[in-house]
Amino acid sequence: MTMPIANAEVLVSNPGRNFVTLRITTDDGFVGLGDATLNGRELAVAAYLSEHLAPLLIGRDAHLIEDTWQYLYRGAYWRRGPVTMAAIAAVDTALWDIKAKVAGLPLYQLLGGRSRSGLLVYGHASGMDLHELYDSIREQLAEGYRAIRVQTGVPGLASVYGVASSANASVGDGGDRRYDYEPARRSAVPVEESWDTRAYLRHVPTVLEAVRNEFGPELPLLHDAHHRLTPIQAAKLGKAVEPYDLFWLEDVTPAENQAALRRVREHTTTPLAIGEVFNTIWDYRELFEEQLIDYVRSAVTHAGGITGLRRILDYAAIYQIKSGVHGPTDVSPVGLAAAIHLGIAIPNFGIQEYMRHSPATDELFRPGYTFADGMLTPGEAPGLGVDYDDAVGQAHPYQAAYLPVNRLLDGTVHDW
Ligand code: KDG
Ligand code: MG
């Protein structure tokens, strides 16, 4: 039985922040959704999808998920890269959504069924000082989170990426800092931030020590260094925070230089997570085979969909490396739902990042997954369990928004 694709629509909307969604419809009326959101570069993926991929999908058999993946990946000749892989991810996810709807099953059933009752998630706490940070952690605990990422301001720096403050609360996803810590600002050019690595390295261990003392030994704590350190600085940080027993230290060095992780690993037993900007299995090869990391950070949305990420995670599993799938608010509810279905099925689930989407975003996508007691669970509706409401989407058109650019105090452009 073949199931020809009749339509592939690219939907771009901004219910507080931009999302790119692919909607595939088959001749017999099955509908599948895929997330193709690439924060700050949304229209590049939208154009790749509508100009180059959508025309190739019309008439193809929607059941051919693997063949379509290979066709779009190998067939293009120009492989990899965030734009290509986000577009392939959206096609792949939408086809899985359709296949599960045809089967009348929630998607995780097609991925092998449940391996656990729910996904442990981590929430986001941040503050410019300890007082703000403790309040933020308490808010997260009160909401039910059982693991918490801790980001802090640094003395001498006016703002720090990833630290919510009242100054950036009104620019993004609904104007509530819980939904928009980064933020991606609606401005013609990116906002520029300043950075001082030595000040950061002096300050962060003191904050993690204080938080560990305040909240006790049990609470899993995570921290994201956002690619800003050299290998030896990262090694120093990993070693300095060992007494505070982090669940992981994320993105310590720029992602391009995989060998850097060797240097870090030689010096510290703090678990390492990396990969939110990776997009294929090749980006992980050295890291897996040399066992240089502990958690994989790729999202379904950015790593070639369920097919792409499943392959990466199966490879990781043979080295006892676990998932830690990227899940900030710029991964749409479609991308998050896909991650939840995958995460509940795989044997090597570690933790899932979760940052609640704004009410306007949930109104647009009406996700069927639920968060309770620190865990996410997929719903039992056939497919991904996410919809797209056109009227809501049309009421919130795209608005250009950029992630910030990071400079050292002397003006040098720095990693971030
Ligand atoms: O678009 C960029 C954000 O998704 C990213 O900076 C968030 O680092 C992040 C994280 O760990 O969620
Ligand atoms: Mg990160």
pLDDT (average), residues 237-259? 96
Name residues contacting ligand 1 (CB within 6 A).
39, 182, 224, 226, 276, 326, 328, 330, 353, 403
Residue 172 has pLDDT above 60, yes or no: no
- The model's confidence at residue 170, banded by pLDDT at 50, 70 and 90, is very low
Tally of CA atoms within 13 A in the half-sphere of 400 that contains its CB: 6
- The model's confidence at residue 183, banded by pLDDT at 50, 70 and 90, is low
pLDDT tens column, 298-340: 999 999 999 999 999 999 999 999 999 999 999 999 999 999 9
Residue 182 has pLDDT above 80, yes or no: no
- The model's confidence at residue 176, banded by pLDDT at 50, 70 and 90, is low
Q: Catalytic: which of 124, 223, 226, 227? A: 226
Residue 166 has pLDDT above 50, yes or no: no
Residue 270: CB atoms within 10 A of its CB come to: 24
β-bridge partners, 402: 185
Exposed, middle or buried, 173 (CB in 10 Å: 0-12/13-18/19+)? buried
14-23, 196-205, 255-264: least confident range: 255-264
Distance, in Å, from the CA atom of 51 to the CA atom of 383, rounded to the nearest integer, reads 27
d(CA 298, ligand 2 centre) in Å: 10
Question: Taken in order 207, 208, 210, 215, is the CA torsion positive or negative?
Answer: positive
pLDDT tens column, 384-411: 999 999 999 999 999 999 999 999 999 9
Exposed, middle or buried, 75 (CB in 10 Å: 0-12/13-18/19+)? exposed
Distance, in Å, from the CA atom of 322 to the CA atom of 273, rounded to the nearest integer, reads 9
Average pLDDT of the chain, as a whole number: 94
Yes or no: is domain 5-106 CATH 1.20.810.10? no
d(CA 297, ligand 2 centre) in Å: 8
79-83, 95-99, 107-111, 166-170: least confident range: 166-170
What pLDDT is recorded for position 171?
43
Instruction: Calculate the CA 50 to chain-centre distance.
Output: 23
β-bridge partners, 224: 250
What pLDDT is recorded for position 279?
96
- The model's confidence at residue 180, banded by pLDDT at 50, 70 and 90, is low
Residues in the chain: 416
289 near 319, Cβ under 8 Å?
Answer: yes
Distance, in Å, from the CA atom of 259 to the CA atom of 265, rounded to the nearest integer, reads 10
pLDDT tens column, 340-397: 999 999 999 999 999 999 999 999 999 999 999 999 999 999 999 999 999 999 999 9
pTM: 0.96
Residue 181 has pLDDT above 70, yes or no: no
Q: Catalytic: which of 48, 73, 122, 161? A: 161
CATH class in words for 119-383: alpha beta
What single-letter DSSP state applies at residue 249? Answer: E
In the structure, ligand 2 is a single-atom ion and the residues with CB under 5 Å from it are 224, 276
d(CA 328, ligand 1 centre) in Å: 6
pLDDT (average), residues 164-171? 51
Which residue, by CA, sits nearest to atom 9 of ligand 1? Answer: 328
Residue of 394, 276, 386 whose CA lies nearest to 334 = 386
Element housing 322 (H / E) = strand 322-325
Which atom of ligand 1 lies nearest, measured to the CA of 250?
A: 11
> Catalytic: 161?
yes
> Catalytic: 414?
no
Residue 98 has pLDDT above 60, yes or no: yes
The domain locations on the chain are: 5-106, 119-383
d(CA 63, ligand 1 centre) in Å: 33
Residue 291 has pLDDT above 80, yes or no: yes
